[in-house]
């Protein structure tokens, strides 16, 4: 049973402890926002399964734990050698490494910070410019849900990226949020802010990994703003500990003729939820949301998306694919909102899930809320098993049953992985998938 008052009390207590070790930062102007956020917690509330948005996801396991703050500077003791396996090999751009939610400069490489592109750790930004914290202050976002409120209250660090007008960044940017697992039960709150100027282009990857298979709680918030004609690709690669809790919120605002692609990959975590809210605010905007989730054992992965067609002539494409085994469960809740007057909206949504065991379960909730009359919206969901005819076809050519199944599972996942254009990231993700199979598949395209 979730006792809401008790849980709020626990978070308020944690906030007091957090404040106590902030030292000078307490005096920063941004701290008022943090206080406001923790105070708003009572108003925002603690969700239960009676809330529609959380109907299929039980948060009791998360709320019944009490978490600790990250150990200060826990990244200091981590060496470049230790972090190596968690980075993309030959990654052609900047890689910012955070350990337990704190920037680790000695582990990070290639960071640019100039007139064309600003890439700055948030804590550094707040220190250098104490009054520049608008990215923390948005009230609507703060009050959107329990976890955005908590994120606003507890975030100390993260990344701020700003790409100037007309700048086309050739190199992708990787942000690695790594949990050290040195202490168990640590909660890390991080925030990533990306602003893309007019006609500018950027590709950002947020990678969430754990050094140990211990219990921890990651609460992340990403804000993406695309100006007119901007192009942005946001990749989320999450493969945290199988004992971890992961709550993610991604907010995207698109101006006219901007193009946004989201690739949301979830492999790790015991209880995972990612919310993605895309608001198409300018005509001609395009959004493409791709997702892949793979659940084993007793994992629970919940993806909740909302694409808000606020104006006319925008298009959105959504494709989520899931592979569930053992007693894993997943949720896909995808809402397309077409506001009054948003004519000539063109929206497609598909969710396909492979169930590899009898106990695996997917709850799928596609929703279309349409208030304009000249629109094209389609949605479809398929839930099924591997095609027996396809398995037999492969076996009839000499491929073993297990290998045939693995091939088919892999090709199902490939449909999403193929959308990732950075080769070193694709290889990293391929390796995660191959590790999940009982047999070595040794794929080479």
Partner 1 sequence: MSLLEIRNLHASVEGKEILKGIDLTVNAGEIHAIMGPNGSGKSTLANVLAGRDLYEVTAGEVLFEGKNLLDMPPEERARAGIFLAFQYPVEIPGVSNMYFLKTALNEKRKYLGLPELDAADFLKLVREKMKIVDIDQSLLNRPVNEGFSGGEKKRNEIFQMAVLEPKLAILDETDSGLDIDALKAVADGVNRIRNNDNAFIVVTHYQRLLEYVVPDFVHVLYNGKIVKSGGKELALELEEKGYDWLK
Positions that interact with partner 1 (CB under 8 A):
387, 389-390, 392-401, 403-404, 407-408, 410-412, 414-415, 443-445
| Cβ 195 to partner 1 shortest distance, Å | 36
Maximal CA-CA distance, the chain: 71
DSSP symbols for 201-263: EEEEEEEEEESSS--EEEEEEEEEEE-TT-EEEEEEEEE--TT-EEEEEEEEEE-TT-EEEEE
- Residue 390 CB, nearest approach to partner 1 (Å): 5
Closest contact distance (angstroms) between CB of 236 and partner 1 is 22
Q: Which is closer to partner 1, CB of 371 or CB of 393?
A: 393
Residue number, 76 or 400, with CB nearest to partner 1: 400
- Measured from the Cβ of residue 30, the count of other Cβ atoms closer than 10 Å reads 21
Residue number with CB closer to partner 1 (279 or 419):
419
What is the sign, positive or negative, of the torsion defined by CA atoms of 83, 85, 89, 95?
A: negative
Phi-psi region of 253 (alpha: psi -120 to 50; beta: other; left: phi over 0): beta
Report in angstroms how near the CB of residue 389 gets to partner 1 at its nearest. 5
Closest distance to partner 1 from the beta carbon of 444 (Å): 7
Distance, in Å, from the CA atom of 215 to the CA atom of 143, rounded to the nearest integer, reads 27
CB-facing half-sphere around the CA of 133: CA atoms within 13 A: 25
Closer residue to partner 1, CB minimum distance, 213 or 400: 400
To the nearest whole angstrom, how small is the minimum distance from the Cβ of residue 412 to partner 1?
7
Residue 418 or 423: the one with the smaller Cβ distance to partner 1 is: 418
Supply the minimum distance, in Å, between the C-beta of residue 386 and partner 1.
11
Q: Which residue's CB is nearer to partner 1, number 371 or number 443?
A: 443
| Nearest alpha carbon to residue 304 among 412, 147, 138 | 147
Q: Residue 109 has what DSSP assignment?
A: B
Toward partner 1, which CB reaches closer, 5 or 389?
A: 389
CA-to-CA dists, residue 11 to 61, 65, 91, angstroms = 15, 11, 38
Toward partner 1, which CB reaches closer, 67 or 320?
320
Beta carbon of residue 352, minimum distance to partner 1 (angstroms, whole number): 11
Please identify, using beta-carbon distances, which residue of 343 and 412 lies nearer to partner 1: 412
How far is residue 360's CA from residue 327's CA, in Å, rounded to a whole number? 5
Least distance to partner 1, CB of residue 445, Å: 7
Q: Which of these, 292, 293, 362, lies nearest to 329 by C-alpha position? A: 362
Angle 352-307-346 (CA atoms, 0-180°, nearest 5)?
Answer: 80
The Cα-based distances of 368 to 112, 121, 285, 348, 381 in angstroms read 42, 38, 19, 10, 13
């Amino acid at each position: 049973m979730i006792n809401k008052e008790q849980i709020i009390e626990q978070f308020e207590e944690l906030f007091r402890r957090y404040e106590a070790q902030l030292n000078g930062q307490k005096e920063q102007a941004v701290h008022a926002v943090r206080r406001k956020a923790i105070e708003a917690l009572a108003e925002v509330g603690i969700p239960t399964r009676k809330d529609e948005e959380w109907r299929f996801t039980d948060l009791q396991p998360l709320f019944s734990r009490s978490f600790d703050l990250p150990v200060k500077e826990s990244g200091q003791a981590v060496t470049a050698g230790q972090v190596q396996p968690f980075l993309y090999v030959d990654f052609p751009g900047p890689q910012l490494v955070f350990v337990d939610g704190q920037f680790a400069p000695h582990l990070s490489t290639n960071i640019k910070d100039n007139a064309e592109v600003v890439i700055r750790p948030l804590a550094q930004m707040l220190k250098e410019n104490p009054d520049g914290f608008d990215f923390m202050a948005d009230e609507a976002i703060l009050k959107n849900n329990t976890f955005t409120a908590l994120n606003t209250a507890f975030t100390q660090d993260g990344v701020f990226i700003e790409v100037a007008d007309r700048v086309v960044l050739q190199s992708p940017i990787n942000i690695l949020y790594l949990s050290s697992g040195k202490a168990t039960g640590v909660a890390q709150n991080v925030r990533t802010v990306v602003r893309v100027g007019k006609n500018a282009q950027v590709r950002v990857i947020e990678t969430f990994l754990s050094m140990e298979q211990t219990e921890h709680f990651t609460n992340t918030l990403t804000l993406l703003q695309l100006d007119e004609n901007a192009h942005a690709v946001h990749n989320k690669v999450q493969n945290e500990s199988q004992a971890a809790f992961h709550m993610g919120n991604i907010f995207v605002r698109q101006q006219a003729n901007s193009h946004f692609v989201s690739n949301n990959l979830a492999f790790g975590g015991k209880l995972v939820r990612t919310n993605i809210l895309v608001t198409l605010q300018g005509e001609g905007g395009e959004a493409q949301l791709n997702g892949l989730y793979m659940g084993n054992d007793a994992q629970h992965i919940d993806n909740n998306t909302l694409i808000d067609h606020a104006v006319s002539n925008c298009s959105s494409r959504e494709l989520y694919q899931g592979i569930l085994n053992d007693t894993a469960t997943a949720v896909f809740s995808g809402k397309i909102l077409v506001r009054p007057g948003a004519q000539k909206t063109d929206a497609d949504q598909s969710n396909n899930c492979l169930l590899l065991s009898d106990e695996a379960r997917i709850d799928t909730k596609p929703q279309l809320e349409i208030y304009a009359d000249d629109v094209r919206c389609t949605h479809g969901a398929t839930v099924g098993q591997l095609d027996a005819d396809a398995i037999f076809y492969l076996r009839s050519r000499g491929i073993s049953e297990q290998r045939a199944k693995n091939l088919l599972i892999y090709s199902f996942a490939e449909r999403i992985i193929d959308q990732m254009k950075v080769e070193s990231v694709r290889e990293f993700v391929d390796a995660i998938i191959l590790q999940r199979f009982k047999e070595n598949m040794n794929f080479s395209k």
